[in-house]
Amino acid sequence: MDELPLSLPALLPGHVWLVGAGPGDPGLLSLLALHALRQADIIVYDALVDPRILDLANPAAEREFAGKRGGKPSAKQPDISKRLIELARAGRKVARLKGGDPFVFGRGAEEALALVEAAIPFRVVPGITAGVGGLAYAGIPCTTRETNSAVVFVTGQDASGAIPETIEWDALARAVPVLVFYMALTKIERIAATLMAAGRAADEPAAVISRASTPAQQVVVSTLAGIAEAAGSARCEPPALLVIGPVVGLRDRLDWLTSQT
């Protein structure tokens, strides 16, 4: 394979790199992420990794699926961490490929802590998180000077599958103009009702971005009160983001992706 025209660190035997694959489009991979895929002799990858990204890897590399999907049979996190340690101790060059960014709702920190405990050398290769890249591909900016000086990323469900009870929803509803919820597709109605009960306007713009930055991307725009029904009628599928705030209103002018197709 062609070498990259840069001096980049080597993925050594017995080392694990936690690599962010971005939201989907292979073009959003970093150079260091591509470098890791070309060097690895085994790639342990998540369910949300686009197959086209795996096609960029070293053809001789072994591929091992370790996906986790809500509501479906999935590998357990302790088992994934244990497997990374086993592979590293066997002298393998391990690329742990994760959708988005490993440290943004990606359990990357849990895996890194397990590697630390086992004295396994590792590197984190950040990726473009869906809350940034997915919004950009939908024509929705995270911030503009005219609309908001803050944005918050929130998980739509906790470890039990419910909306997080540790969040101060009243404060969240009042304090931040733009909210981006990950893993919220099945919780949209509950999230919207909770925010409106806390004072958020029912007619505030909201959008669901399904399978962001992939050929199957789907964007549904409505109001906070209507977004759950709109997403259901459109049969949006996971992974999906829920975006709430004035930036959603810019999509009709900034939807660059649709204008190119």
SS (H, E, C) the chain: CCCCCCCCCCCCCCCEEEEECECCCHHHCCHHHHHHHHHCCEEEECCCCCHHHHCCCCCCCEEEECCCCCCCCCCCHHHHHHHHHHHHHCCCCEEEEECECCCCCCCHHHHHHHHHHCCCCEEEECCCCHHHHHHHHCCCCCCECCCECCEEEEECCCCCCCCCCCCCHHHHHHHCCEEEEECCHHHHHHHHHHHHHCCCCCCCEEEEEECCCCCCCEEEEEECCCHHHHHHHCCCCCCEEEEECHHHHHHHHHCHHHHCC
Q: What percent of the chain has pLDDT over 70?
A: 95
Active site residues: 46, 68, 183
- Look up residue 58 and give its two tokens: 């070293």
Pairing of strands 42-45, 94-98: parallel
pLDDT computed for residue 73 by the predictor: 59
What is the value of pTM for the model shown?
Answer: 0.92
Specify the amino acid at residue 129: T
70-91 pLDDT per residue, tens = 555 568 889 999 999 999 999 9
Residues 85 and 121: their CA atoms lie apart, in Å, by: 10
pLDDT computed for residue 68 by the predictor: 64
Radius of gyration of the chain (CA): 19
10-45 pLDDT per residue, tens = 999 999 999 999 999 999 999 999 999 999 999 999
Q: Tell me what the mean pLDDT of segment 136-157 comes to.
A: 96
Quickly count: other Cβ atoms within 10 Å of residue 137's Cβ. Answer: 22
Domains of the chain: 16-128 (3.40.1010.10), 131-259 (3.30.950.10)
163-206 pLDDT per residue, tens = 888 899 999 999 999 999 999 999 999 999 999 999 999 999 99
Contact partners, residue 152, CB within 8 Å, separation at least 6: 172, 176, 178, 179, 180
Q: Is the pLDDT of residue 159 over 80?
A: no
Average per-residue pLDDT for the chain: 94
Residues 30 and 250: their CA atoms lie apart, in Å, by: 28
pLDDT computed for residue 71 by the predictor: 55
